[in-house]
Homo-oligomer: A and B are copies of this chain.
Amino acid sequence: MTDKQLNILMAAMKLFASKGFDGTSTNAIATEAGVSEGLIFKHFKNKEGLLEAIINYGMEKSSVYFAEVILISDPQKRIEKAIALPFSIDPNDNQFWKLMYALKWQRGEYQSGPFELFRESLIDAFDQLGYENPELETTMIEVIIDGVATQILLKNTDAAPLLETILKKYSLK
């Protein structure tokens, strides 16, 4: 990936996250990236392709953290680590996750993939622990993760005490 290619990617991520995909013009991206507008299309084919490149780039960076959770064999620890996930979002990745959550509501197509494996590994964990309804418990974890992500990304709530409260409340401390 060229310097300018990365410039475009970062500029687009910033603008898509703050103004939305449709609210951002390729002209604005080019200006923010310090590049001619034509270059965007040379490298990413079209605006949609640029969005896909951003998501691939961000998910590749993030998939490590998902894998870390999935690979924990102790079910209790796996669940705890899953809950802790949104609390450990690298502030450098805030824009990426804001974009991902914004896309959730109007472009569900970018929601599949790594998330399904993640979900199944949680169902498995609750199953191992003998819970009556592992799917339901997993949905609860997803509720927590989405809710916490909303708080942290949108209202920059102080993460540490919130995490402690959750783990205590869930008798997972």
Q: How far is the CA of A133 from the CA of B161 in the complex (A)?
A: 10
Across the interface, which residues of B come within 8 angstroms of A6, CB to CB? Answer: none
Please report the total number of A residues contacting B with Cβ < 8 Å: 35
Using A98-B105, A105-B105, A170-B169 as known contacts, say yes or no to A162 and B139 having CB atoms under 8 A apart: yes
**Copies of this chain, whole number:** 2
What is the 8 Å Cβ interface bit string for chain A, positions 60-86, against chain B (1 contact, 0 not)?
000000000000000000000000000
Q: Main SS of the interface on chain A?
A: helix
Which residues does chain B contribute within 8 Å of A144, judged by CB atoms?
143-144, 147
Say whether A43 faces chain B, with CB atoms less than 8 Å apart.
no
21 residue pairs from A and B, CB less than 8 Å apart: A20-B106, A22-B22, A98-B105, A101-B105, A102-B105, A104-B154, A108-B154, A133-B161, A136-B162, A136-B165, A139-B157, A139-B162, A143-B148, A143-B151, A143-B166, A144-B144, A146-B146, A146-B150, A146-B151, A147-B148, A150-B150
